[in-house]
Amino acid sequence: MAMSNVGRPTAPAANGRNVSGNSGGFASLTGGRGLLQDEPLIFEEGGWDKTGVDLPEASADAADLGDLVRTAPIGLPGLSEPEAVRHYVRLSQKNHAIDLALYPLGSCTMKHNPRLNEKMARLPGFADLHPLQPVSTTQGALALMDRLAHWLKVLTGMPAVALTPKAGAHGELCGLLTIKAAHEAKGQGHRRTVLVPTSAHGTNPATAAFVGYDVAEIAQTDDGRVDLADLEAKLSGDIAAIMVTNPNTCGLFERDILEISRLTHAAGAYFYCDGANFNAIVGRVKPGDLGVDAMHINLHKTFSTPHGGGGPGAGPVVLSEALAPFAPVPWIVSGPQGLRLIEEPAGEAAQAFGRMCAFQGQMGMFVRALAYMLSHGADGLRQVAEDAVLNANYIKARLSTAMTPAFPQGPCMHEALFDDAWLEGTGVTTLDLAKALIDEGFHPMTMYFPLVVHGAMLIEPTETEPKRELDRFCDAMLALAEAAKSRDAERFKGAPHLAPMRRLDETLAARKPKLTWRPGDTTVAPAPLAAE
């Protein structure tokens, strides 16, 4: 590090930014970046002997606890209120958010969440409910869930829906458990295998394995679709289900979807559709018309509602006539006393396979999703899909001038997929490019997924980005592409130069995650900036 540079940044360009995109060899003395302070863990910050509130000494009544009485200090960090507030606000400022900028993650569908949704979800009549309240006091909430279920059934053309799953992956689990129960009821419980295309999201094979099925792969055609001949060859009396995403994770509509479902049903298997990409076809295509038996809907993707950082999400599963009787409890029915919940897998729910969670699901997400549906209306939801596809194709067209689209033939659906053929010989990789994008103020696209495309870059703008923002993103991408092609590999290898953290060892972090802090542990200090 060139110490002489400290406090004396190299001359900025006319727009106030470093011309070369690097930090000019400047590092702050504290690890801070502009007004963003370096932030240790709360455990490193708080003293054990301090507390932010005055509490009377507890007269520990050990009588009920026996030998479970704590003998050592509890080890909570002691911070004053302003210290605690600052800690969390500083952390929140390190978090990228859709409210800050375009969030082009393909497959994740990061779209703007209208504030109206938040206002509705915070209505005390919804937000302050307790799941164990008597149903006579929760009629409004049940009516909302019933209305949401109605919309989901109409939009998908499916007769039943299980609302409780709490994420897409949880919905997959619900769908496969339903399928398993249906097979067992038909004396087909011996079917052991689930077919999954090579481009599938990792949750598909993981879910099938979790339910106890073997997983076999269906090959993909050169134009990124399910290989029908391979599917046909692999369908047999051993196949319980196929799991197909449509549009698929290459951002392409499965043209042969009707034939896929016909072949599947002819083999006595069920068609599970991964509905994470429903936002590309909502209002235009009803999965029920395609022969789908079960499909989860990520409310937190298709119907806005924020997600990330582990939640919250909601993954209701729509079901065909054949699978509906096996849906998990609880479900809502109406009777003389109004709406009520069927809670036990008995009587009219005798075939239900069980339940997915303790109570009724993610109420806050139900409110947000219904608010989104009602504010858009049926025509508005159709336009959501059309604009999402239009935006993705705009990006595909602009970036194809410098980058190589993975499937150049024809338009894409809601996400544009590129491979890394165009980077060949530059010394720059997909990862380098993504890191360099951070220096330009953009969150990277999804990288290296789907696995079937070499060095994949999957970009999903969603319908909520205006053309101006799409152009800013494309301009940044094209400028980086030019830098990569003009053999400025150094700039890429060191990126991100301007983020609080430089390049991290992501493999180590994934393989050996450090999930527990112990006294004496220290967090990684930001590496000093190299003098370039």
Binding site for ligand PLP (CB under 6 A): 107-108, 167-169, 201, 203, 245, 249, 274, 276, 298, 313, 315
Query: How far apart (Å, rounded) are the C-alpha atoms in residues 277 and 285?
Result: 12
Q: How far is CA 523 from CA 29, 30, 194, in A?
A: 18, 15, 43
Closest CB to ligand PLP among residues 203, 429: 203
What lies within 8 Å, CB to CB, of 363 at 6+ separation is 126, 129, 141, 145
CB of 219 to ligand PLP, least distance (A): 19
Adjacent-strand bridge partners of 317: 162, 296
CB of 376 to ligand PLP, least distance (A): 21
Strand ranges across the sheet with 193-197: 160-162, 317-319, 294-296, 270-274, 239-245, 193-197, 214-218
Reduce the secondary structure of 296-324 to three states and give it as a string: ECCHHHHCCCCCCCCCCCCCCEEECCCCH
State the Rg of the chain over Cα.
26
CB of 56 to ligand PLP, least distance (A): 45
Please report the DSSP string for 421-458 in residue order.
Answer: GGGTTTT--HHHHHHHHHHTT-PPPEES-STTSTT-EE
CB of 312 to ligand PLP, least distance (A): 10
CB of 314 to ligand PLP, least distance (A): 8
CB of 205 to ligand PLP, least distance (A): 11
Q: Is 333 strand, coil or helix?
A: strand
Closest CB to ligand PLP among residues 78, 308: 308
Closest CB to ligand PLP among residues 412, 436: 412
State CA 224 to chain mean position distance. Answer: 22
Query: How far apart (Å, rounded) are the C-alpha atoms in residues 172 and 294?
Result: 9
Closest CB to ligand PLP among residues 288, 315: 315
Closest CB to ligand PLP among residues 169, 470: 169
Q: Output the residue with the shortest Cβ distance to ligand PLP.
A: 168
Closest CB to ligand PLP among residues 249, 426: 249
CB of 451 to ligand PLP, least distance (A): 13
- Which of 457, 389, 360, 407 has the alpha carbon at shortest distance from 142? 360
- Which of 448, 457, 437, 440 has the alpha carbon at shortest distance from 392? 457
CB of 315 to ligand PLP, least distance (A): 6
CB of 355 to ligand PLP, least distance (A): 18
Q: How many CB atoms lie within 10 A of CB 352?
A: 21
Instruction: Determine contact, residues 317/333, Cβ cutoff 8 Å.
Output: no
- Amino acid identity of residue 45, one-letter, is E
Closest CB to ligand PLP among residues 125, 311: 311
Closest CB to ligand PLP among residues 276, 481: 276
Q: How many CB atoms lie within 10 A of CB 215?
A: 16
Closest CB to ligand PLP among residues 46, 364: 364
Q: How many CB atoms lie within 10 A of CB 519?
A: 8
CB of 422 to ligand PLP, least distance (A): 25
Closest CB to ligand PLP among residues 189, 202: 202
